[in-house]
Amino acid sequence: METTDDIAGEIGLIWDQVKAPVIVPLLRVAAFLCLVMSVMLFAEKVYMAAVVVVVKFFGRRPYKRYKWESLRDDIELGNSAFPMVLVQIPMFNEKEVYKLSIGAACGLSWPSDRIIIQVLDDSTDPVIKDLVELECQRWASKGINVRYEIRDNRNGYKAGALREGMKHGYVKNCEYVAIFDADFQPEPDFLSRTVPFLVHNPDLGLVQTRWKFVNSNECLMTRMQEMSLDYHFTIEQEVGSSLYAFFGFNGTAGVWRISALNEAGGWKDRTTVEDMDLAVRASLKGWKFVYLSDVKVKNELPSTFKAYRYQQHRWSCGPANLFRKMLMEIVRNKKVSPLKKVHVIYNFFFVRKIVAHIVTFVFYCVVIPATVLVPEIEIPKWGSVYIPSIITLLNAVGTPRSLHLLVFWILFENVMSLHRTKATFVGLLETSRVNEWIVTEKLGDALKTKAVTKAARKPRIRIGDRVHVLELGVGAFLFFCGCYDLAFGRNSYFIYLFLQAFAFFVVGFGYIGMVVPHT
């Protein structure tokens, strides 16, 4: 007992000696920087909300800003009145969803002699490769122009596959290319609603459509993802399209003018966000983009936490790394206006891709909890309560059906900000994991099938897949701060701290998302 008291006394003595000269100044600087970043993020959110309101009520819809006329058969020209369209479907071991995507692409209502379906299969599993090739042959036997393409390596991952796909001779006859990831299922009228924008507006290089999530009700984690992505599509993409004719290409469910793609330099694999890289380069060449919120393409959200975590690493690391690589190129560019440069550098990259991730984790999961232990630092109410509340409510606009889940969304986003912040610094500093690419696992109907076939057996769960040390460590820190605040604090932060600690523990022990039984 005396030994324990001695250790506690020594720790207390060291804390008292370090606190005033080191901890307090550092925490004060961190709090100030976080408040500045919070104001930046708040201003960005309010600004975008105001733009969307103006767009909605004053009718600045794409069909009014750009010329659009449906394409019809010409008596003299016949089907040649329709431009040649290439549809690319990049795949990698997509056993669960390959039939859905190929079937949806082959079902597009476009003259059969004016469309080429190109399946780019990078699969390493020979069984899956055979299945995909067989599916392509099945559709080809029905008169669909399907090309099954493989390569002997996976260099460049998705970007490499798309780049190789553009090198085939038959592509030279195509004017436009539509891209769909393996879990995306476009409606039959997709091309007839998107391609006319490119046909009638020669300055447009890209038409991007909205994602519609087929499994958003699968679990609480997919509901949280839906809220975040709906905000992205409802607000961020709409603002970029309406004001600047620029936004980040989402990598799928979009149609490119091939000449714009080529002028921008084609696909590059220097970052894990090859889609955003291409969009920025095309924009710097003067091409405009349009976003169609009323054209929706069905797709699947990651159902397992492991898949979602890998996806978020790629989506957070890639933009930060691209910002590092392209900052000076954007600054020196002569073809775009200064206003558009400011938008791309400050709004698009700095605030949304860097500040948003860092402030969420550092402020709400480190600085505010630490002020409980260091009462000399006081966070003003507008920074700790009012600004976060308004930002949260503005985010909920995208998914009104999930308003009752706001608290869960806040807690989950704060947990995920740990990984996003880590990935952001990996991208900015270009460390070893900067080009890590792990394909997001899609389940299709596999989860339902496995649930039925294995009902009699208990699924074997690998401990390594369920326990996440980082989350447990942060959860322990928040729980300790909550206990300290409950005993000695004066700001009642303990309510938030206990809830947030619980969220980190839930994720840390793997009780989030779907659990897929191992065979």
* Structural contact between residues 433 and 491, judged by C-beta atoms closer than 8 angstroms: no
For the four alpha carbons of 462, 467, 469 and 471, in that order, the dihedral sign comes to positive
Q: What is the pLDDT of residues 160-179, one digit of tens each?
A: 999 999 999 999 999 999 99
Q: What is the pLDDT of residues 44-53, one digit of tens each?
A: 999 999 999 9
CA distance 399 to 300: 17
User: Which residue's entry shows tokens 């620029």?
Assistant: 246
Please say if the pLDDT value at position 93 is more than 60. Answer: yes
Q: What is the pTM of this model?
A: 0.91
In 324-443, the DSSP E strands lie at none
pLDDT at 294 (0 to 100): 94
* Structural contact between residues 494 and 485, judged by C-beta atoms closer than 8 angstroms: yes
Contacts of 63 (CB under 8 A, 6+ apart): none
pLDDT at 2 (0 to 100): 61
pLDDT at 453 (0 to 100): 38
CA distance 238 to 236: 5
* Structural contact between residues 251 and 277, judged by C-beta atoms closer than 8 angstroms: no
CA angle 50, 335, 257 (to 5 degrees): 80
Tell me the average pLDDT of the chain. Answer: 90
Nearest to residue 391, comparing CAs of 228, 221, 149? 228
Strands 254-257 and 176-179: antiparallel
H or E stretch including 86? strand 85-91
Q: What is the pLDDT of residues 175-218, one digit of tens each?
A: 999 999 999 999 999 999 999 999 999 999 999 999 999 999 99
Q: How confident is the model at residue 76 (pLDDT cuts 50, 70, 90)?
A: low
Q: How confident is the model at residue 10 (pLDDT cuts 50, 70, 90)?
A: confident
Where are the chain's structural domains?
83-302
Count of CA atoms in the C-beta half-sphere (13 A) of 387? 22
* Structural contact between residues 193 and 489, judged by C-beta atoms closer than 8 angstroms: no
Q: What is the pLDDT of residues 306-347, one digit of tens each?
A: 999 999 999 999 999 999 999 999 999 999 999 999 999 999
Active-site positions read 122, 275
Q: What are phi and psi of 92, to 5 degrees?
A: -150, 100
pLDDT at 310 (0 to 100): 92
CA distance 257 to 106: 20
- Name the least confident of 94-108, 338-352, 431-445: 431-445
pLDDT at 136 (0 to 100): 97
Q: What is the pLDDT of residues 453-465, one digit of tens each?
A: 333 344 455 555 6
Q: What are phi and psi of 59, to 5 degrees?
A: 70, 35
Please check whether the domain covering 83-302 is classified as CATH 3.90.550.10.
yes
Q: Return the percentage of the chain with pLDDT > 90, whole number.
A: 77
DSSP conformational letter for 120: E
- Name the least confident of 10-14, 157-161, 424-428: 10-14
CA distance 12 to 387: 35
